[in-house]
Structure 1
């Protein structure tokens, strides 16, 4: 990601008013998904947005992630997928910052590798010290990684992620939000593959 594109993204985030990110007042439960009481806006220039709420520390997210990645490759051009790292408590903030650091450094190819390192290789990637050591082994410059990790841009993105988590009333990970209107998850859809099937069906409801 270039500096220009990063700044553009930051200013786009800042341009969203606080009112647009107020939590939906309620969500109506359906078979396999919930419908928010109001459609939440996005900043995707008219495209339909799919949000993938996840945490690197979540074993269920590690299972769903490759399925979401494969599904994303089949989405039409007017649908965009945005991963959103969730921080239900302060102890999860560094994992949120890790994702946005990879985004800022244009190394999202390492996104699935983080899941692998934590859940298969049992590496404790839960704080900056361990994260930067791991990142250096992946070929990233340690100093640049740490500077980006602690940057204003990454902090701004984490704040936006927290606002989205609240606005969509996300109670657990992984969860998929479709078109600012629907939310589904493995617990709602009764399975990982079923979650993708349900998400696809919800896109169809939106005419996609």
Structure 2
């Protein structure tokens, strides 16, 4: 009887020790999920973005260039504007954001000239949304210079100032350059974003316009890291 009691106590102690050990292990926090959540996101070339075969020279090599290729008549571009506008406002100083109108045909070339005319007149900030709204909400075609001129005049632009800017050498040069760069980028649709003349990002690959900007942020960081590495190299 005494031996049986001692055996019972021994087994009870084993059970208690096992339970205590199991409880102590369950109290150790599991950081595996948190570590995974905090891990840096990596996007893949060919899956999330396209690497250009031949990098295109950027306007300002001292900064990381981000070019948004768009068309005023594009509904996707119209819906992208309220997404990209706040993103652009928080870009750091080492990033140079460049909106660039696509040029595929005579109509898009006319609209590119319309964009650079507004820029030449220092009225782009005021007219950018007006031009988007005219084509996407008011459904105006804007396929003639006279119709575009009327739209500018309604915004307080002098007729002569418009005509001079619209046909100026500066605007014509910018239109030609945009056409050349769009062709070199291999733009397939709008909106698309080109990072530092090397990578092309579109919603067709990312799945959404919001994720486009996440991929662009990733690529900007890649280029920033390369710049820092080059600066510290012996």
Q: TM-score range by the shorter chain?
A: 0.7 to 0.9
Alignment partner of 1:196 out of 206, 209, 213: 213
Match of 1:77 in 2: 93
Alignment partner of 2:48 out of 15, 32, 50: 32
Query: For 1:77-116, what aligned pairs fall within 5 Å after superposition?
Result: 77-109=93-125, 110-116=127-133
Query: For 1:1-208, what aligned pairs fall within 5 Å after superposition?
Result: 30-109=46-125, 110-207=127-224
CA deviations over 1:75-124 (Å, ceiling 9, x no partner) = 11010111111111122211000000011000011112211111012222
Q: Normalising by structure 2, report the TM-score.
A: 0.73
> Where does the alignment leave 5 or more consecutive residues of structure 1 unmatched?
1-27
> How far is 1:150 from its partner?
1.3
* Partner SS, residue 200 of structure 2: strand
> How far is 1:29 from its partner?
5.2
Match of 2:15 in 1: none
CA RMSD, Structure 1 to Structure 2 (Å): 1.6
Match of 1:7 in 2: none
> Where does the alignment leave 5 or more consecutive residues of structure 2 unmatched?
1-43, 226-234
Q: Normalising by structure 1, report the TM-score.
A: 0.82
C-alpha separation between the residues in 1 aligned to 2:197 and 2:205? 17
For this pair of structures, how many residues does the alignment match? 181
Match of 1:9 in 2: none
> How far is 1:139 from its partner?
0.9
Bigger radius of gyration: 2
Structure with greater helix percent:
2
Contact 1:51/1:84 (<8 A) preserved: yes
Contact 2:64/2:224 (<8 A) preserved: no
Contact 2:66/2:98 (<8 A) preserved: yes
* Partner SS, residue 224 of structure 2: coil
Moved more, 35-44 or 164-173: 35-44
Runs of at least 4 residues off by over 4 Å: none
